[in-house]
Chain A
Amino acid sequence: DQQVKQNSPSLSVQEGRISILNCDYTNSMFDYFLWYKKYPAEGPTFLISISSIKDKNEDGRFTVFLNKSAKHLSLHIVPSQPGDSAVYFCAASAIGTASKLTFGTGTRLQVTL
């Protein structure tokens, strides 16, 4: 039962353009969402998060959008840089689960020159 889904296993974007990574979820109890970035042989690094009471959160080049009615969130990276090439994981936490995170399967982003 995959409660957090990232349907695009990979994405290729040119440097300077926008990268849009998508994530869908099925559990209505999720109230907090996070994006992590992961390089090979390293642990995930926290990128940006959003509470379910908001529909947008921005931090520099990174913006996360949340559409609760569609149970969908997306991460926008503008402009994309070669150093952004990594695997991006969407994660969610449900009310009352003491911050246990449920992860998607990841999207591998490659930013080309």
Chain B
Amino acid sequence: NAGVMQNPRHLVRRRGQEARLRCSPMKGHSHVYWYRQLPEEGLKFMVYLQKENIIDESGMPKERFSAEFPKEGPSILRIQQVVRGDSAAYFCASSPREGAYEQYFGPGTRLTVT
């Protein structure tokens, strides 16, 4: 099953550490989206990437957060100097082409900041 893969599934970090979340899109998909879900809330868009390009990062906090999708390898969402408010579920989704509305989601990474 070549679904969207995310790892790790669970990540615990202390305040001030760095968190790295990885996402491998479905086979044949070159468009990746990251969303964040805080407790009892819906998913909030963070960033949209194509291979080697950030297309839309309007939902990303201006500081400490960055994302990349290199030519080879998974997409990575990096959170530097994590704070308790970063604790959330982070979901990655992929789609096969620009303009394809249906996005296919991975199982998520649950980040806990202690």
Apart from A101-B33, A101-B43, A103-B43, what are 19 other A-B pairs with CB-CB below 8 Å? A42-B107, A43-B91, A43-B105, A43-B108, A44-B43, A45-B105, A46-B103, A49-B101, A97-B56, A98-B55, A99-B95, A99-B99, A99-B100, A99-B101, A100-B48, A101-B35, A102-B45, A103-B42, A105-B41
Which residues of B are found within 8 Å of A98, using beta-carbon distances? Answer: 48, 55-56, 98-99
**Chain B residues at the A interface, C-beta cutoff of 8 Å:** 4, 6, 31, 33, 35, 40-45, 48, 55-56, 58-59, 91, 93, 95, 98-108
From residue B90, how far is it (CB to closest CB) to chain A in Å?
Answer: 10
Interface residues on A, range: 20 to 34
Whole-angstrom CA separation of A97 from B42 in the bound complex: 19
